[in-house]
């Protein structure tokens, strides 16, 4: 009975320590719902200049021309130029800037052709994918390449250089702000699905919303906060801290901000409000905001990755009318439609103003902690095999004390203790603890992978399934702590009757348990609030 009480006491202390560590690993910021909702004046997203006649979509036939743009260092990028046929006078022109999901010259074809049919010359250059990976992205370099493409567009016959601007989607809006900071001849900027904030701040909105819509429990949503608080330098990812605020103030030209209300990846309300606020501080009040019944790609559907979806109703018409209106002077003379209009958005989570980490502040440290447990268990297995083989060798050469009905390999007695001393087994506690740790880790990481897949691919499992799964993993984590307490008690009680190799094996298993429990604490398995 005393032994049971002792094991229970050790387990409770370990659980308390793990809970405190889990609390200390929480980031020093909270993921808050967004409540400062933007006011939409009209449900109609149409944009109409006041008392100005402009060309509309379909008014002109279009012509496509394949170009090659020399961006320096011996690299050329293909591009597609689209022009309105027989459009009179100098025409406004628009350069397209890719986001993270597109890179080819043939992308944006439906949008660029629709704009050309409304009398706007468009140029879609390919984006160089050299050194463009999940780990590294050089936005100033991209801005330089797009600046070269802008010069090509401005040199096209029939283009009005004073009314040449940019269209950018998603990540491309960061490139657009860098480009705008480098040159001051950009007449307008149409920004669609703009992240606006720093990468980790914007991802706080996206990951929290994705996890929430997938049915993940609150602790898992908090795990996204922990990940976004880490220092990524050992692995790259410096672009996560791209200084969006610094470059945002370069938007001194007329700006059109467009979001799809089904876009859960972007701060669709907070972003528009920040652009208007920053522009106003620079004296720029020519910011127009429109919301459409579309997703992140401004397609008429909620599927983020679904191919073949049509563009959201009224999107290209509003875009063309705005560009032609800006070129005709509507930013000065005024618009017949409100500044903010379209479908009422509903941003769920706010982009945080800070992302300070807890006591684990580096992704490298986290990965090291997560890998240490399995590596140490593997080392313990190898050392245990060596200890078993050595014990078998000693049995042959020096004799072996056997326990009735048990395998000799499990019970060794060093020669100095062979007489009058009962053999002790370390196999059961070592194997029991090792199996429990591997099982708990596999279930935890498998669960997190399932939640991540459901969030990214917008899959919704049976209601409450992820809650049940989370509590099940928590129970297994607690059982692992109890097994650790039992194993530690057994190992301590037989410490004088085992060999040096066996003692080292025990310490390796205990060390693996410490790192595994530390990893579990990071992921919030010991927080029951």
As given in the structure block, the two tokens for residue 108 are 């944006």
- DSSP of 450-497: HHHHHHHTT---STTHHHHHHHHHHHHHHHHHHHHHHHHHHHHHTGGG
**pLDDT above 90 (res 421):** no
**pLDDT above 60 (res 304):** no
Please name each of the domains of the chain with its CATH number. 2-25+359-522 (no CATH), 62-216+236-342 (3.40.50.1820)
How far apart (Å, rounded) are the C-alpha atoms in residues 42 and 510?
Answer: 64
Grade residue 116 by pLDDT with cuts at 50, 70 and 90: very high
Torsion over CA: 110, 113, 117, 122 (sign): positive
Grade residue 303 by pLDDT with cuts at 50, 70 and 90: low
pLDDT greater at residue 228 or residue 194: 194
**pLDDT above 90 (res 112):** yes
CA dihedral 86, 92, 96, 97 (to 10 degrees): 170
Continuous segment of H or E residues that includes residue 241: none
Least confident range of 43-47, 224-228, 414-418, 456-460: 414-418
Where are the extended beta strands (E) located within 176-327? 189-192, 255-260, 287-292
Bridge partners (DSSP) listed for residue 168: 97, 191
Kindly list the strands in the beta sheet with 62-72, ordered across the sheet, starting from the edge strand earlier in the chain. Answer: 62-72, 75-84, 121-125, 91-97, 159-169, 189-192, 255-260, 287-292, 340-342
pTM for the full predicted model: 0.81
Question: Any residues with CB less than 8 A from the CB of 398 and at least 6 apart, and which?
Answer: 415
Residue 416: the pLDDT is 41
Torsion over CA: 96, 99, 103, 106 (sign): negative
Beta-sheet pairing, 255-260 with 287-292: parallel
Answer for the pair 82, 108: CB distance below 8 angstroms, yes or no. Answer: no
SS3 label, residue 266: coil
Answer for the pair 131, 138: CB distance below 8 angstroms, yes or no. Answer: yes
**How high does pLDDT run on average in the chain?**
86
Q: Which of 87, 11, 92 is nearest to 331 (CA)?
A: 92
Answer for the pair 223, 214: CB distance below 8 angstroms, yes or no. Answer: no
Q: Which of 245, 435, 342 is nearest to 41 (CA)?
A: 342
Residue 415: the pLDDT is 44
Continuous segment of H or E residues that includes residue 218: helix 218-228
CA 29 to chain centre: 17
* 442-465 average pLDDT score: 81
In this predicted model, what pLDDT tens digit does every residue of 5-27 receive, in sequence order?
888 999 999 999 999 998 888 88
Bridge partners (DSSP) listed for residue 335: 49
Grade residue 220 by pLDDT with cuts at 50, 70 and 90: confident
């Amino acid at each position: 009975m005393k032994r049971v009480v002792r094991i229970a006491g050790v387990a409770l202390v370990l659980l308390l320590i793990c809970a405190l560590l889990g609390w200390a690993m929480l980031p020093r910021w909270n993921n808050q719902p967004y409540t400062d909702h933007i006011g939409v004046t009209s449900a109609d997203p149409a944009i109409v200049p006041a008392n100005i006649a402009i060309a509309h979509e379909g008014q002109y036939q279009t012509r496509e021309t394949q170009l090659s743009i020399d961006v320096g260092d011996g690299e050329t990028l293909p591009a597609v130029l689209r022009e309105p046929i027989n459009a009179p006078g100098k025409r406004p022109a628009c350069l397209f800037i890719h986001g993270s999901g597109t890179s080819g010259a043939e992308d944006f074809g439906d949008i660029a052709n629709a704009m050309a049919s409304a009398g706007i010359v468009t140029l879609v250059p390919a984006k160089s994918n050299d050194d463009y990976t999940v780990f590294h992205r050089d936005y100033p370099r991209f801005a330089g390449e797009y600046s070269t493409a802008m010069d090509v567009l401005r040199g096209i016959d029939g283009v009005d250089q004073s009314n040449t601007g940019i269209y950018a989607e998603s990540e491309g809006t960061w490139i657009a702000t860098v480009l705008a900071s480098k040159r001051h001849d950009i007449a307008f900027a149409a920004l669609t699905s703009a992240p606006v904030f720093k990468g980790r701040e914007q991802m706080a909105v996206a990951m929290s919303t994705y996890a929430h819509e997938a049915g993940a429990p609150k602790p898992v949503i908090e795990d996204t906060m922990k990940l976004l608080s880490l220092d990524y330098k050992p692995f790259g990812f410096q672009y996560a801290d791209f200084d969006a605020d610094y470059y945002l103030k370069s938007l001194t030209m007329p700006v059109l901000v467009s979001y799809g209300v089904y876009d859960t990846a972007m701060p669709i309300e907070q972003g528009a409000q920040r652009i208007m606020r920053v522009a106003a501080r620079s004296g720029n009040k020519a910011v127009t905001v429109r919301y459409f019944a579309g997703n992140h790609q401004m397609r008429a559907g909620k599927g983020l990755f679904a191919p073949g979806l049509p563009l959201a109703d009224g999107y290209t018409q509003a875009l063309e009318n705005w560009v032609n209106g800006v070129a005709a002077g509507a930013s000065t003379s005024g618009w017949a439609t409100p500044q903010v209009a379209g479908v009422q958005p509903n941003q769920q989570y706010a982009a945080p103003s800070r992302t300070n980490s807890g006591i684990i502040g580096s992704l490298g440290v986290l990965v090291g902690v997560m890998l240490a447990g399995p590596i140490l268990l593997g080392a313990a297995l190898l050392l245990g095999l060596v200890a078993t083989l050595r014990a078998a060798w000693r049995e042959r050469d020096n004799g072996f004390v056997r326990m009735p009905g048990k395998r000799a390999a499990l019970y060794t007695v060093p020669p100095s203790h062979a007489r009058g001393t009962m053999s002790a087994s370390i196999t059961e506690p070592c194997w029991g603890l090792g199996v429990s740790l591997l099982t708990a880790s596999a279930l935890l990481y498998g669960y997190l992978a399932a939640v991540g897949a459901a969030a990214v691919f917008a899959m919704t499992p049976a209601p409450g399934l992820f809650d049940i799964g989370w509590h099940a993993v928590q129970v297994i984590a607690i059982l692992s702590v109890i097994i650790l307490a039992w194993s530690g008690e057994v190992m301590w009680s037989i410490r004088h009757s085992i060999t040096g190799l066996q003692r080292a094996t025990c310490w390796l298993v205990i060390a693996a348990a410490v790192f595994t429990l530390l990893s579990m604490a990071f992921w919030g398995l010991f927080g029951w609030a």
